Amino acid sequence: MKDLTIDNITENVHFINAQCSDRRLKFILERLVSHAHDLVRETRLSTEEWMEAIQFLTQVGQTCTETRQEFILLSDILGISLLVDAIDHPKPPGASEGTVLGPFHTHEAQNIEHGGGIASDPEGEPLLVLCTVRDSAGKALENVTIDVWETDSKGFYDVQYANHDGPDGRAILTSDKDGIFWFKAIVPVPYPIPSDGPVGKLLAKLGRHCYRPSHMHFMFNHPIYDPLITALYLKNDPYETSDAVFGVKNTLVVELGRVEDEAIASKYGVKVGSALMTYDFVLVTKEEALNLRYKNAAAAMKAQGKKMDYLNGLPVPEVD
Amino acid sequence: MKDLTIDNITENVHFINAQCSDRRLKFILERLVSHAHDLVRETRLSTEEWMEAIQFLTQVGQTCTETRQEFILLSDILGISLLVDAIDHPKPPGASEGTVLGPFHTHEAQNIEHGGGIASDPEGEPLLVLCTVRDSAGKALENVTIDVWETDSKGFYDVQYANHDGPDGRAILTSDKDGIFWFKAIVPVPYPIPSDGPVGKLLAKLGRHCYRPSHMHFMFNHPIYDPLITALYLKNDPYETSDAVFGVKNTLVVELGRVEDEAIASKYGVKVGSALMTYDFVLVTKEEALNLRYKNAAAAMKAQGKKMDYLNGLPVPEVD
């Protein structure tokens, strides 16, 4: 542990970290240190650059507040959030796909009844959202908890306002016995992710725009089913193919309809001609997701030539 | 840029970042994203683990103050700081080696004359520090600026005290025409790096102690010579071979002497029997360091099979 050089330091850091009794943490740290050191070696990172990176990370941390998570934003714009979700919540064919949570989910949303309104903004275009949630065999799922959230018509979430004093543009619903849930909202608009912080400045340096295409967030929870964090994106949005946080998937792009029928308009308490978003979500069971996660992990480890044990479905190197 | 999967997302993030006009930033980001994504794929990182990591990084950022840099501490305990320094300040044979800066260098230190005292702590054991600074041909170097800093006898730097109101245990000297600089200090003691923050908690989880062996920091600056950030470590310290931040090198370990001679004691204004630290530092020119850095970088790139251009001595991929 003396005379550490460019070439031997990595093994030495592994050696001292190998005392860790948590096998999973030890494995993650071993991979983290290897990749961090390789990054430095491959780029021949200079002290000045590293100090700039340290300052950047410090600013990211210090930009975080109770209602703003700049590290999640950083993770989002580097595609890490999407990747982690894809690994952690694998979907078999037919199941609804997941996408990035984003930094604006909160725990302030109130439960509302079907048909309730989630958005107070009078300038937003009224939208009726009419969805179902089913299992992969097509069975309606009752009592699924659904968090929904969106920005106002200016592209800001409630918590982004300095004078924010309660939830707006968000609510929690529970699916009924037919797997239906419905609510009134406003037509989503494209918006910039917060660009006044260090992550926004990084995007500018990279020559990237900071826009997300119009979307509505949905999060599904149920004791038996794997949590689904997803969003629906509006077709033909100008940012449909260049989302700053890599969230768009073809199966999550929807074309808004119109409430054409007087009876329907009356049933749901909206005007004829109102914008309409419909979607049939399909959840997989926790067991099915766990099995698929394990199967994918085992295949990936095999492809890397690694023999692994699994703790709670997560790989750790075999003990010698 | 739609339907991103575990396998294609990395290329897509590279594609969107490729708009960056700063070739060096583009290269670093390309490597960063590749390594971050590989880390996630290789460990099959879960959403819960990633959220824990996000919380950890946020806490690291929020622990930073004007006088505490928790991200540097994190970089130190993962061996990254030492690695970056080794790459950025390569030393030819015969030159003094560098080591970690640590998070406690400040810009508060005052200039003192040779023989001045840097530490006010009456409980510290008095130490006479008597050094020279030369070039690699042995020529004495005049007018080199030398920052020195150390903890008090309890193992704390001045800025770690809540009631801190000025520099203590630190000073700036300038070498004389014989390359000599000398000052009065106290014998360094081992001390724990700050362990009350997230980095300390990580060390505990890893089963690692948080001690650094006894040492005195030195930083050399001169218009012609490559900055040398280093430290001298006391021989036979209990943590000599297990420094929490990987800073010890054999050539930087010194055995303290004693001022035996009455004439010497009188000349330097210390008591006979006082502890004595001596060292002859050797600097290399900026030009020599730049050439060596470039040579090492070129060899490393060649070993990786990469053809590169160099901007300010730092590699970037060749333009197609």
Chain A positions in Cβ-Cβ contact with residue B240 (cut-off 8 Å): 2
* Residue A219 three-state SS: strand
| pLDDT number for residue A3 | 77
Q: What are the tens digits of pLDDT across the range B74-119?
A: 999 999 999 999 999 899 999 999 999 988 898 999 999 999 999 9
d(CA A305, CA A309): 13
The confidence score (pLDDT) of residue B1 equals 62
In this prediction, residue A1 has a pLDDT band, given cuts at 50, 70 and 90, of low
B118 neighbors B78 (Cβ within 8 angstroms): no
A40, A241, A246 member nearest B9 (Cβ)? A246
For B214-223, the pLDDT digits (tens) are 999 999 999 9
Q: ipTM of this predicted complex?
A: 0.91
Nearest CA in chain A to B293: A44
Cβ-defined contact of B41 to A248 (cutoff 8 Å): no
The pLDDT assigned to A121 comes to 96
Tell me the chain B residues in contact with residue A44 when contact means C-beta distances shorter than 8 Å. 87, 293, 296-297, 300, 314-315
**What does the pLDDT read at residue B286?**
94
Q: Could you read off the pLDDT of B219-270 as tens digits, one per residue?
A: 999 999 999 999 999 999 999 999 999 999 999 999 999 999 999 999 999 9
Nearest to B84 among A40, A61, A81 (CB): A40
The yes-or-no verdict on residue A320 having pLDDT over 70 is no
Name the pLDDT band for A236 (thresholds 50, 70, 90): very high
CB nearest to B82's CB, from A4, A61, A296: A4
The pLDDT of residue A137: 95
Question: Which residue from B25, B44, B249 is facing A300, i.e. has the nearest CB?
Answer: B44
Q: Do B60 and A64 touch (CB under 8 A)?
A: no
- Residue B252, amino acid: L
Q: Evaluate if residue B58 carries a pLDDT over 90.
A: yes
- Give residue A312's pLDDT: 83
Residue B34 pLDDT level (bands cut at 50, 70, 90) = very high
Beta carbons of B72 and A54 less than 8 Å apart: yes
Cβ proximity of A184 and A129 under 8 Å: yes
Residue pair A97/A91 in contact (Cβ under 8 Å)? The answer is: yes
Indicate the CATH number for domain A75-284: 2.60.130.10
pLDDT at A2 over 90: no
Render pLDDT for A174-190 as a digit per residue (tens, 0 to 9).
999 999 999 999 999 99
Mean pLDDT in chain A?
Answer: 94
**Residues in A touching B221 (Cβ below 8 Å):** none
In angstroms, rounded to a whole number, what is the distance separating the alpha carbons of residues B169 and B181? Answer: 16
Residue A57: its chain B contacts at CB < 8 A?
Answer: 57, 60-61, 71
Mean pLDDT of chain B: 94
Using the beta-carbon criterion (under 8 Å), do B31 and A20 form an inter-chain contact?
A: no
Distance of alpha carbon A82 from alpha carbon A98, whole angstroms: 9
Nearest-by-Cβ selection for B61 from A57, A81, A82: A57
The pLDDT tens digits for A204-232 are: 999 999 999 999 999 999 999 999 999 99
Q: Are strands B275-283 and B257-258 parallel, antiparallel or unpaired?
A: antiparallel
Give the span between the Cα atoms of A62 and A52, in whole angstroms.
15
Look at B207 and A21 and tell me if their CB atoms are within 8 Å.
Answer: yes
Share of chain A above pLDDT 90, in %: 88
pLDDT at B19 over 80: yes
User: Which CATH number is associated with domain B91-194+209-284?
Assistant: 2.60.130.10
Q: Where are the domains of chain A?
A: 75-284, 288-320
For residue A59, the chain B residues in CB contact (below 8 A) are 61
Set of chain A residues whose Cβ sits within 8 Å of the Cβ of B33? 78-79
Give residue A304's pLDDT: 85
